[in-house]
Amino acid sequence: MPVIKDAVCTLCGCLCDDLEVTVEDNKITKVGKACKLGRAKTMGPFLHERIEKPMIRENGELKECSYDEAITKAAEILVAAKRPMSYGWCSTSCEAIEKAVLLAEETGSLIDSTANVCHGPSALAAQEKGAPTCSLGTPKNYADLIIFWGCNPVHAHPRHQTRYSTMAKGAFTPNGKKDRKMVVVDPRNTDTAKKADLLLQLKPGTDYVLIEALRAIVNGHEDVLPDEIAGMPKEKVLEFAEMCKAAKFGVLYFGMGITQTRGRYKSGDNVSSLISDLNQITKFVMIGMRGHYNVTGFGQVASWETGFPMAIDFSRGYPYYNPGETGTNDVLMRREVDAFITGAADPGAHFPQESIKHLFNIPAIQIDGYANPTTEFSDVVIPAAIAGVECDGTAYRMDCQPIRMKKLVETTFKSDEEILTDLINKVRELKGAEGAKGGV
């Protein structure tokens, strides 16, 4: 039985690259070493309801059509639009993302990634303060203090703690967990918190306040602190600060408890400063626990192609960027968008109700392997191969490490990259002598 070793798992930002995938008759029958998420993802194409055929909505119903018809219809929608939005592109390869950026450019679109509802604020934080970070193998070898702040790896990144952090054994941490302390900061006593040496159960939305207190302590001003901070006694915060200061190498992993709560990116921004302050005393770094396996890749590709990691507006021919103004949910909420294309993402499931209402009002194009809530409002649906299972390409791990995804099985579905290339060509054909919209 052919076993593909060192296969790359393409579900979460851990991008584990040690899977052992058994393929029989071009079907994946077993996925070794993966977690529940990775197994579900890798076996998915053989278990779940695939979008088998291209479809176009007619009189409210999706009807099967030819691939060329779907591409033509999609291109027509994009070319006719004055304020098209391209969204998603995180569960796909960097090669496809480059094409998505080009398509957005050619159609004078906005383009944004799933970071819009995930770690977008972390990019904003990096713009404010920088990102003092490291590769995942560094804490594995060095860290004696691990902090999970507003993230829950037991659920969202199941192998994180064994491969890279709490339990991982490394050069200066040969005994794994025994050589480390682990702290969880979360309003909920999560499954991750069960094994924590310290849990700081803060009041929801007070992350910024807690960070302020920690920085005040690190910078020698604990005397001004009130008795209660973020819903916790001051002593608990002092205890946490002491643990941080006593560490030889500390790492703070943060999740959407930092990015989605009150103040949004201002918390992540302030975490970055806390890390900088702590480096006056010891070594400390931070790492964002990115969700989609290649949402980091979108940020990387978009940055080198356009200068900006997300929320890019090509309407004037050159990229402009301002989350709050050019982010997907910003413009959907304002009901500005007049056409929508999404790939390798499911805004239907992950956007707030107000945004989805508008998506039902405008022509929408979906490129995906599976039917999902986005299909419900899409007017053109184009089936795609599953990147990382059915086609290869590059993905960036949560720590910005580029890894080559393997093709595990053959498929008759086109890859996102091929579909986008066909769309670009069709858009060019339709625009013809009119030339490129935006900036020419």
By C-beta, is 225 or 430 nearer to other proteins? 225
| Least Å from the CB of residue 121 to other proteins | 5
Q: Which of 412, 414, 411, 409 is nearest to 27 (CA)?
A: 409
By C-beta, is 14 or 56 nearer to other proteins? 14
Cα–Cα distances in angstroms (integers) from residue 376 to residues 2, 148, 155, 365, 440, in the given order: 39, 36, 28, 11, 36
Is residue 290 involved in binding other proteins (CB under 8 A)? no
Specify the DSSP element, H or E, that contains 420. helix 416-431
Is residue 383 involved in binding other proteins (CB under 8 A)? no
Q: Which of 26, 29, 66, 361 binds other proteins (CB under 8 A)?
A: 361
Q: Which of 167, 183, 365, 371 binds other proteins (CB under 8 A)?
A: 371
Cβ proximity of 116 and 328 under 8 Å: yes
Q: How many residues bind other proteins (CB under 8 A)?
A: 169
Residues 6+ away with beta carbon under 8 Å from 398: 13, 14, 15, 136, 287, 288, 289, 290, 296
Torsion of CA 422, 427, 432, 438, to 10 degrees: -140
Is residue 248 involved in binding other proteins (CB under 8 A)? yes
Could you tell me whether strands 110-113 and 84-88 are parallel, antiparallel, or unpaired per DSSP bridges? Answer: parallel
Cβ proximity of 134 and 170 under 8 Å: no
Binders of other proteins in range 50-79 (CB under 8 A) = none
The per-residue b/e assignment along 263-295, b for 16 or more CB within 10 angstroms, e otherwise, is bbbbbbbbbbbbbbbbeeeebbbbbbbbbbbbb
Is residue 136 involved in binding other proteins (CB under 8 A)? yes
Q: Which of 23, 32, 170, 176 binds other proteins (CB under 8 A)?
A: 170
Distance CA 240, CA 217 (A): 10
| Least Å from the CB of residue 230 to other proteins | 8
Is residue 421 involved in binding other proteins (CB under 8 A)? no
| Least Å from the CB of residue 414 to other proteins | 18
Is residue 148 involved in binding other proteins (CB under 8 A)? no
By C-beta, is 304 or 410 nearer to other proteins? 304
Q: Which of 105, 390, 416, 417 binds other proteins (CB under 8 A)?
A: 105
| Least Å from the CB of residue 419 to other proteins | 18
By C-beta, is 259 or 342 nearer to other proteins? 259
Binders of other proteins in range 182-241 (CB under 8 A) = 187-190, 193, 201, 204-205, 208-209, 211-213, 215-216, 219, 221, 224-226, 229
Binders of other proteins in range 299-358 (CB under 8 A) = 299-301, 303-311, 314-330, 333-336, 338, 346, 348-357
Which range, of 7-15, 20-28, 66-74, 408-416, touches other proteins by CB under 8 A?
A: 7-15
DSSP, res 170: B
Cβ proximity of 369 and 384 under 8 Å: yes
Cα–Cα distances in angstroms (integers) from residue 379 to residues 69, 80, 340, 367, in the given order: 12, 15, 10, 11
Q: Which of 49, 33, 9, 97 is nearest to 408 (CA)?
A: 9
| Least Å from the CB of residue 116 to other proteins | 6
Is residue 435 involved in binding other proteins (CB under 8 A)? yes
Is residue 107 involved in binding other proteins (CB under 8 A)? yes
Collapse the DSSP code of 85 into the 3-class scheme (helix H, G, I; strand E, B; otherwise coil) and give the result: strand
By C-beta, is 302 or 380 nearer to other proteins? 302
Specify the DSSP element, H or E, that contains 321. strand 320-321
| Least Å from the CB of residue 273 to other proteins | 7
